[in-house]
Amino acid sequence: MTTDQGQRIVSWHGNPSRPRYTPPAGAVDAHCHVFGPMADFPFSAKAKYLPDDAGPDMLFALRDHLGLDRNVIVQASCHGTNNAATLNGIARSNGKARGVAVVDPAISEAELAALHDGGIRGIRFNFLKRLVDDAPKDKFLEVAKRLPAGWHVVIYFEADILEELRAFMDAIPVPLVIDHMGRPDVAQGPDGTDMKAFRNFLDSRDDIWFKATCPDRLDTTGAPWNAFADAVAPLVADYQDRVLWGTDWPHPNMQDAIPDDGHLVDMIPRIAPTERLQRKLLIDNPMRLYWPEEWDR
């Protein structure tokens, strides 16, 4: 779907349903993005897609519509290493958003400190070739060793390169958060090759977190995404203290299969069927990772 501006892309639902499931008070959408507005925050010249504007006002309106309370805004690849749009979203959230940045590995300590002051609590390394041209592991590792206290590294990759990345990820000296579980083939089921490999990775250290997210990306059967629910629920149950959830709004590059965000929220009780699990998924875990100063009080 494109807008009347020609090549600019709309990848989000224009009228998402209200979820049947009611999240607990304080629930966190721990994986979402903002796009622009382009007039204020231009997109990177290296961007692989050019989205229409999806700024903080839209994000926070969706948050309220879905019954959520906080956001973790993850820098989208279309903004490159200029985190101004993400920082703007955090600044306009009245304390209800934190963020994950994408940085030039040569970033200075002063610049990292400024990102921390702006609400950033981690950096993201993207290994999807369709989204980035260069992913220098040696430089990534160097900057990972210089992060402010309490930060983590978010990594986005596809299941077929998990083993290739293991030595690199093992060397990162801060907690890891894996986007979308490393994109396993959920059609294989909970005991499939991809999920077994991911479990083996999670078992290798106790500070690897993951996002049980994106049924719309991972389950080709379409809504209600039964294959995703069947494959992911056991993973959530077995690693319940290290799992996060998010909408992935505004769903970059999903313009041909745009999900209804209300239906995404309705996946929560299917992968976390008890109130205890739901609280860990939506409140305890993201608060511990992104708002530890509030969580420790």
pLDDT digits (tens, 9 = 90+) for 233-289: 999 999 999 999 999 999 999 999 999 999 999 999 999 999 999 999 999 999 999
Question: Which residues make Cβ contacts (< 8 Å) with residue 264, sequence separation at least 6?
Answer: 215, 216, 247, 248
User: Taking 50 as the threshold, does the pLDDT of residue 172 lie above it?
Assistant: yes
User: Taking 90 as the threshold, does the pLDDT of residue 4 lie above it?
Assistant: no
Percentage of residues of the chain with pLDDT beyond 70: 95
Token pair in block for residue 57: 């006002």
* 52 vs 29: CA distance, rounded Å: 21
pLDDT at 71: 99
pLDDT at 162: 97
Active site residue 203: no
| Mean of the per-residue pLDDT values of the chain | 95
pTM for the complete prediction?
0.95
CB 83 within 8 A of CB 70: no
CA distances from 75 to 35, 123, 166, 269 (A): 9, 9, 24, 27
Of the candidates 165, 161, 263, 178, the residue with the CA atom closest to the CA atom of residue 219: 263
- When pLDDT is cut at 50, 70 and 90, the band that residue 295 belongs to is confident
Backbone torsions φ then ψ of 125, nearest 5 degrees:
-110, 125
- When pLDDT is cut at 50, 70 and 90, the band that residue 123 belongs to is very high
Please provide the DSSP assignment of 27-39 as one string: -EEEEE--B--TT
pLDDT at 5: 40
pLDDT at 48: 86
pLDDT at 1: 37
- When pLDDT is cut at 50, 70 and 90, the band that residue 3 belongs to is very low
Lowest-pLDDT range of 123-137, 199-213, 230-244: 123-137
- When pLDDT is cut at 50, 70 and 90, the band that residue 136 belongs to is confident
User: Taking 60 as the threshold, does the pLDDT of residue 2 lie above it?
Assistant: no
**Of 241, 248, 256, 284, which residue is the catalytic one?**
248
Between 46 and 39, the higher pLDDT residue:
39
3-state secondary structure of 112: helix
Average pLDDT over residues 202-231: 97
pLDDT at 7: 82
pLDDT at 128: 84
